[in-house]
Chains A and B, each alone.
Chain A
Amino acid sequence: MKEQFPALIVTVPLLSSFIVSISGWVRRSLCFYITLSVLILINIFSFSILNQVICSGVIQYRLGGWEPPWGIAYHIDHLNALMLCVISVVSLLNLISTKKAVERDMEEKRGAFYTLYALMITGLLGITITGDAFNLYVLLEIASLTGYGLIAIGEDRAVLSSLNYLYMGTIGACFYLLGIGYLYIVTGSLNMVDISHILPSLYNSKAVMVAFVICMVGLWIKMALFPLHGWLPNAYTHAYASSSSLIAPLMTKVMVYVMLRVMFSIFTPDYIFRYINPGRMIVWLSISAIFFGAVMALSQKNIKRMFTFIIVSEIGYMVGGAWIGNRVALTGCIFHMVNDALMTLGAFLFLGILSHNNIDETFDGIKGLTKRMPFTMGAFILCALSFIGVPPTSGFFSKWYLLLGAMDAGYYGFMLALIVSSLINVILFFRIIEAAYFYGHDASEIREAELFELVPLFMVVAIILIVGLLNAELVQYIIDPAIPKMII
């Protein structure tokens, strides 16, 4: 049974989406419980896979028993397994927390919402687990198409924002497909491990370089790296809180994962860091992303929109960390991927609670909130400390690794960007805390959030603290083996 988990983790949510869709017509209240049970199953699968990988090394799984270069093979190492766990935990907590909000916002469309939810999780899990470059494209499109749908369910302007996201997202995915096409011409293979074995004799080929550049640009569009981030703020702001708190923590982070996979599993570290070595340029790009995101976040009045620009800035951290090209920075990059998913989830769950209680997501709207919602605000402040990077929250440790890595490699601009953006985060979050703590507000009908909303938020905060406290173990047993041995 256990050896079939890699296949089940993708097929179970895929098939369940049909059942959810049917039960949406028969009994709408069932949809939530079916999705919930599927997500609990997925959590069991993904943690079991992580456990297997830690105990006995890389898992090779052949779909349908076909041999690797011909059939689709799953090649699950520590990085895949870690991302699977992040995706399943985030989606489960978000599902529980948004139950009532979904019932209120989209009573009629509940069946459709949970169908898309299950399909999106299928896509994200599939992207993460697959070892086949074309399979990744198909699952990428599944995740993106459901994402467009989930965003378009939202408020008034959501449809137009979703359409703009669709244009950009399609260009991004098509560029990735084109890059894989060039690789297929020169290597004749679609299996990632197989391609990386064939490539060393083809380092001089211009087609390989073109493939690399096109793949990277496509993925940067999908992960919203500045200056290709144009679609992100509108799409995430106008979506309903229940959709954006699923998409915002996961979509961009999974794309960063795909970038790492393309860099290290398809193209080898040897090729990208010794042969073409565009690292310096890309780190400068990420520095500008960090500054741009931070400055734009400062100028926002709407808190949700502010968070979307913080995401743009955080993408800069991860891309920079990946391209600095030493082991410490890469540890920081992978660590930050986990952290950012958790912190963004915390922040968006908080926003979901605000919108569920009809509180304006502006600095005026949250005045005096601490008196009304002490627990929600308390949990949010811990999330905020993690965004800023205060020990012992996990945000501190990933930034610390990124800083050390940048210092080793002599990227002082990146260090400066990290420190300045952390300071800007201090300003951003203290504006919220100031409004919530030090101003009175007479809206006495606002009550503390309900238990099913509070518990997931507290779980997120607890995970952030646990990951922070156990950072040495996480790095030693999971992140360090995930990094290719060639990188020092």
Chain B
Amino acid sequence: MFEHIIPKYNYWIYITLMMIGLYAMISKNNLIKKIIGMNIFQTAIILFYVSMGAKRGATIPIIEHSQGHGIIDVTRYINPLPHVLMLTAIVVSVATLGVALALAVKVYKRYGTLEEDEILKKIKEE
């Protein structure tokens, strides 16, 4: 059983984080908590990408001139592409968070509360 968990712990971490985020989005009543849950959800996927590019004992893929034998040992270099992709994904998640918080501010100004059940009650009363 452990051979599925310990060598692949990075996947378990990202799945746990993702489920925490999803739980917060589904069950929390406060809009800000939901938004933070959404952000945890996105961060989990960013961590998943970052961990798949990482390699133990390896370095950034810049080939030194002094080596010059024409042989490149791939185990010494990490794959930078997933990390670069995640720069874009971080920008996207920041933008999403910004839009979500701006909407939450507008909701608060309109209804005077951020608790979802109170907002729904107010909508029903109107």
Contact = CB atoms under 8 A, between A and B. Distances in A.
Interface of A: 134, 137-138, 141, 145, 148-149, 152, 156-157, 159-160, 162-163, 166-167, 170-171, 174, 177-178, 181, 184-185
Given A181-B45, A181-B48, A167 B110 contact: no
Nearest to B48: A181
Interface residues of B: mostly helix, strand, loop or mixed? helix
Interface in B71-106: 82, 85, 88-89, 92, 95-96, 99-100, 103-104, 106
Interface residues of A: mostly helix, strand, loop or mixed? helix
The 9 closest A-B pairs by CB, nearest first: A159-B106, A163-B103, A141-B92, A159-B107, A178-B45, A174-B45, A166-B100, A170-B38, A159-B103
A427 B106 CA distance: 39
B42 A174 contact: yes
B39 to A, nearest CB: 9
Given A159-B106, A159-B107, A174-B45, A166 B96 contact: yes
A185 B89 CA distance: 17
B25 interface: yes
A170 to B, nearest CB: 5
B41 A171 contact: yes
Given A159-B107, A167-B38, A181 B49 contact: yes
Given A141-B92, A160-B119, A177-B89, A184 B104 contact: no
A145 B95 contact: yes
B107 A177 contact: no
Interface residues of B, number: 27
A171 B25 CA distance: 10
B81 to A, nearest CB: 8
B108 to A, nearest CB: 10
Contacts of A166: 38, 96, 99-100, 103
Contact of A152 (B22, B89, B103): B103
Contacts of A148: 99, 103
Given A141-B96, A167-B25, A185 B119 contact: no
Given A171-B25, A181-B45, A152 B92 contact: no
